[in-house]
Amino acid sequence: MQSRLSRRDLLRGAAWSGLGLAASLSPLSAFSASPSARPDVIRIGVAQPATGTPPSFAGSSLAIAHARGWLEESFKPTGTRVEWFFFKGAGPAVNEALANRQLDFALQGDLPSLVGRAAGLKTRLVLATGVRANIYVGVPPDSPLKTLADLRGKRVSLFKGTNMHLPALRLLEANGLTDKDLRLLNLDTAGYLAALSTKDIDAAIGAMDILRLRDKGAVRILYSSKNQSPIYTRQSHVLVTDDFASRYPEATQHLVKTAVEAARWASDESHREEVLRTWARAGTPYEHWKEDFDGEPLRVRLNPNFDPFLVSRYKDAVEQAYRFRLSRARFDVDQWIDQRFLKAALNDLSLQTYWPVYQPNGKILGA
């Protein structure tokens, strides 16, 4: 049955993309599920395109679990298959698949998820992954632009509807600008990299992909959120549909627990090289991952917890999305984040205090 949710509400300017299916690799842990209420398949959507053979994605502990086949292996005793789907159209495209009941779980950013929730998608956030991801602003090397305030009236690209959107608007606002002050163009990663190279735009607000052009001398970095306020970083999570979590609570619990185990492994500094090189298979060079993560503990970026900082980021995102007219309604974030599965997993694995806890201002609790 097709959803009656407005396509406009869910996509917000991004196009539907094709799907891709991934393969499994090696095990992490076993699980004995009840034979009752067992799903035949778990469908996981990823708001990134996959690249390489086998298909890979990057930037989160869930990407590590995917690369090593840990979810597939852990569900094998139950007979449940795990299928992965990748979306070039990022979060907005994932929303359409959720609306059409084509997914059970999704790895997605804050803005597209809250837009979907505000439009009526019944989802729950169950796990953080890939938080505090940096944003970069690139300009042609000979550009006269010196500060972010100089972007006024310029042609600037931004992949709208993704988790890049809100921190970009926050950054502009902090520099006395709104999106109305720019000639803002909606371009995906490949689009803005090409447009920067040919100087068809004056600047691009994007991710570390911009570093590729910098290394070729085709771009100068005007701004990076690295070592700046974390309110200008991007947040991501794993969500589950209400229907799946209600019908299959044990399978939901098991997936979250396995994802937490993956986050624990990937947060271990002794695995830093392996984590970064695994992510590099998805196309972004290892050197750029190393640069982006330099000086920052893995436990910060791969923290699965919805701590006070992250909860405050999502509450702020709901308010800002409504204020910027990116979503149609406000809603209660505390009711949206369902921490029961995560807390149970942390208790089972004795990991309640493994990851640092941050206050809403971004400072570590007790520091």
Which amino acid belongs to residue 190? Answer: A
21: which 2 tokens? 């299916």
Q: Tens digit of pLDDT for each residue in 81-110?
A: 999 999 988 888 999 999 999 999 999 999
136-232: CATH topology is: D-Maltodextrin-Binding Protein; domain 2 (3.40.190)
The Cα–Cα gap between 213 and 196 comes to 8
The span from the CA of 297 to the CA of 278, in Å, is 17
Residue 184: the pLDDT is 93
Predicted pLDDT of residue 366: 62
Give the pLDDT of residue 4: 39
Torsion angle of alpha carbons 182, 188, 193, 196, nearest 10°?
-20
pLDDT confidence of residue 26: 32
pTM: 0.86
Identify the pLDDT of residue 53. 78
Instruction: Report pLDDT for 341.
Output: 98
Q: Is the distance from CB of 140 to CB of 169 less than 8 angstroms?
A: no
Per-domain boundaries in the chain:
7-132+235-348, 136-232
Angle made by CA atoms 241, 243, 247, in degrees to the nearest 5: 125
Pure H helices in the chain: 7-11, 61-68, 70-75, 90-99, 110-118, 165-174, 189-197, 210-215, 242-247, 249-267, 272-280, 286-293, 298-301, 308-323, 333-336, 340-348
For the beta sheet containing 105-109, the strands, ordered from the edge strand earlier in sequence to the opposite edge, are 81-86, 41-46, 105-109, 236-241, 123-128
**Which of the 8 DSSP states describes residue 76?**
G
Q: Comparing 7-132+235-348 with 136-232, is the CATH topology the same?
A: yes
Query: Residues of 23-61 as b/e, b for ≥16 C-beta within 10 angstroms?
Result: ebeeebeebebeeeeebeebbbbbbbbbeeeebbbbbbb
- What is residue 367's predicted lDDT score, i.e. its pLDDT? 56
Q: What is the pLDDT of residue 37?
A: 80
Stretches where the chain sits below pLDDT 70 are: 1-36, 365-367
Spatial separation of the C-alpha atoms in residues 54 and 278, rounded to whole Å: 12
The CATH fold assigned to 7-132+235-348 is D-Maltodextrin-Binding Protein; domain 2 (3.40.190)
- C-beta neighbour count of 199 within 10 angstroms: 14
